[in-house]
Structure 1
Amino acid sequence: MDTHAQLLLVVIFVGSLAVAAAAAGLHPVVLLPAYTCSQLDARLTDEFEPAASAAPSCGGGVLLKKKGWFRLWNNHTALLEDPALVPCYAELLRLVFDPVAGDYRNVPGVETRVVSFGSTRGFASNDPAMKLVEALEAVGYKQGENLFGAPYAFRYAPAPPGQASREFSRFLSRLTLLVEQASERNGGMPVLVTHSFGGFNAHVFLRRSPLAWRRRYIKHFVMASAGAGGAVLLLRFGSSSSSPSPSFAGKFLVLPSPKVFGHAPLVVTRAKNYSAHDIPEYLKANGFSGEEVARYVARVLPVTLDFAAPPAVPMTCVNAIGVPTPEMLVYWDGEFDEEPDEVVYG
């Protein structure tokens, strides 16, 4: 079953919910897309000073001359026209950790915002979630009436209760209001539909919402291709196929959870095997600093260990079968900055 087939099943399932409640019309849908589907705008202030590695592509360049908001991610047009801007765009996307606030921030002088929150129109056009949007519209859903989108700042991630996570907390507040508005406009409880990483965010959102609120506002939770509990493929930090910058707090959220993967070996070398319980040691072996590893242990691990079905929320998970999925990475000589010597699929 490929991604398109999975999304078709989601549409059929959501449609069946609507048929069951035909008298009330289509159940409103709030869609959370995949990891990099959400688009970001940026605005620079006089405080921005690029790091030395990015200075040649940023200094005096066209980006520094921009006034007001411009598209930062996913800006294929600018990068195709001038590939030399890639290091500068990477610098603008980079996150830094503020030890005083205990939270992640943009690089000083960079302001960012999510494009078109509340709508799916801001989703990246080549993301599979757009196929889901098109299919929902084909069966009668309309933007702003009973179809809503919740794009998010994918570089950030939730922190455990009691720790600062300003951007993610802001997202949860906006999502709460969006769900309530969707319900009020349609006289019925919305269905939360997610694709890939959107499922992680929706899961945390539901787990942290009051039980009475969930019972009142959530009809159903549908996850497509969520990879719940993390993915082995994301342990390829040094390869060209690695996901976006390790400075992104969100990247660590999708590392394999010990609660799901247990002690099974995920990375194999001649000297040592690494399981999900060994990820702190594996991060060190990949060159992450002691502070970065400590933040993984303190901020990310408690969130991944909290993985469980949110009470009082009916759930449907749609995942692929028969599709080779990385189950183990083999680096015989421990050269983690190269492609694996072998990928074992399950």
Structure 2
Amino acid sequence: MNNGKQPVIILSHSLGGLWALHFLRQQSLTWQQEYIGHFIAVSTPWGGTVQSMKIFASGYAEGAPFINPLLLRAEQRSSESNLWLLPTPATFDKQVLVTTERDSYSACDISRFLEDVGYPEGVPLYESRIPALVESLNPPFIPVTIVYSDGIDTPLMLAYGRKGFEHQPLVTYGDGDGTVNLQSLMGVLNRWKALQGEDLEVINLHGKTHSTILTDKQAVNTLVEIVLSKPRHAEILS
């Protein structure tokens, strides 16, 4: 696409925000400022999600009725991008996120967790790739708008009983967008505000879920307004 070498707006959703940030951080300050006008990150799981631990432990049917999540577990484990969504120590620290009758796991125990849920082949994939991607989420050298939502029950802790990971857990809920925990959605805000100042804009679309933030008319109109409020010379790249 030839747009006359005008800077573009990157608009991302969910994991796309982490991919976009990883891409931008590999570019020089000069390159970013020449080619990227603005980065709009919507519903980004900066610090991972507790929901992703359920994916690896006992599967996740994504709300579909009459589907046993365990039947989806192997396929979901095979999607390596799900490893990037596991909770990070920087966001969740040693907070207990998963319990069984014999053990407990925090974001600091991901390798042991993957072993214990029966996915040992995921350990080297996780250890060799993920920590380096999530340990230092520094902002890019361009203006950023972070859009998130809250007010929706979101899995915060998973308690597995005597049958272990071969049945579904008792879920304790906290705040978030239904998929991503609030502390993850806001995981980079304090540090980025200190580093970016006025180049960081934060918008909360309260009450929208992780998916309806892209389909709800009010939310979509807000996203369009955000894009149109940016410099008119920038094109949109989604």
TM value normalised by structure 1: 0.44
Question: 1:230 deviation in Å?
Answer: 0.9
For residues 244-268 of structure 1, what are the alpha-carbon distances to aligned partners after superposition, in whole Å with 9 as ceiling and x for unaligned? 5212221101111112221111112
Read off the aligned partner of 2:149 and give its amino acid letter: A
For residues 167-221 of structure 1, what are the alpha-carbon distances to aligned partners after superposition, in whole Å with 9 as ceiling and x for unaligned? xxxxxxxxxxxxxx5xx51553111100112111101111111221011111111
Q: 1:323 aligns with which of 147, 152, 159?
A: 152
For residues 131-166 of structure 1, what are the alpha-carbon distances to aligned partners after superposition, in whole Å with 9 as ceiling and x for unaligned? xxxxxxxxxxxxxxxxxxxxxxxxxxxxxxxxxxxx
Tell me how large the CA RMSD over aligned residues is: 2.0
For residues 243-297 of structure 1, what are the alpha-carbon distances to aligned partners after superposition, in whole Å with 9 as ceiling and x for unaligned? 75212221101111112221111112332221111010000111012x4312211
Show the counterpart of 2:28: 210
CA contact (8 A) 1:200 1:228 kept: yes
TM value normalised by structure 2: 0.62
* Count of matched residue positions in the alignment of Structure 1 and Structure 2: 162
Show the counterpart of 1:336: 165
Counting aligned pairs with the same residue, the percent is: 31
Q: 1:193 aligns with which of 5, 8, 11?
A: 11
Show the counterpart of 1:253: 84
Question: Are 2:59 and 1:229 equivalent residues in the alignment?
Answer: no
Residues of 2 paired with 1:221 and 1:334: CA distance?
45
Residues of 1 paired with 2:111 and 2:40: CA distance?
32
1:52-91 equivalences in 2 (<5 Å): none
Question: Are 2:59 and 1:239 equivalent residues in the alignment?
Answer: yes
1:110-259 equivalences in 2 (<5 Å): 181=1, 185-186=3-4, 188-236=6-54, 237=56, 238-241=58-61, 244-259=75-90
Q: Which runs of 5+ in 1 are unaligned?
A: 1-180
Q: Which runs of 5+ in 2 are unaligned?
A: 62-68, 176-238
Read off the aligned partner of 2:134 and give its amino acid letter: T
Higher relative contact order (CA 8 A, sep 6+): 2
Residues of 1 paired with 2:49 and 2:39: CA distance?
21
Residues of 1 paired with 2:125 and 2:154: CA distance?
28
SS across alignment from 1:333: coil
Residues of 2 paired with 1:240 and 1:232: CA distance?
12
Read off the aligned partner of 2:3 and give its amino acid letter: R
Residues of 1 paired with 2:170 and 2:155: CA distance?
13
Read off the aligned partner of 2:59 and give its amino acid letter: S
Larger radius of gyration: 1
Show the counterpart of 1:27: none
Question: 1:334 deviation in Å?
Answer: 6.4
- TM-aligned CA distance change 1:315 to 1:226, over 3 Å: same
Q: 2:133 aligns with which of 291, 298, 303?
A: 303
Residues of 2 paired with 1:280 and 1:226: CA distance?
23
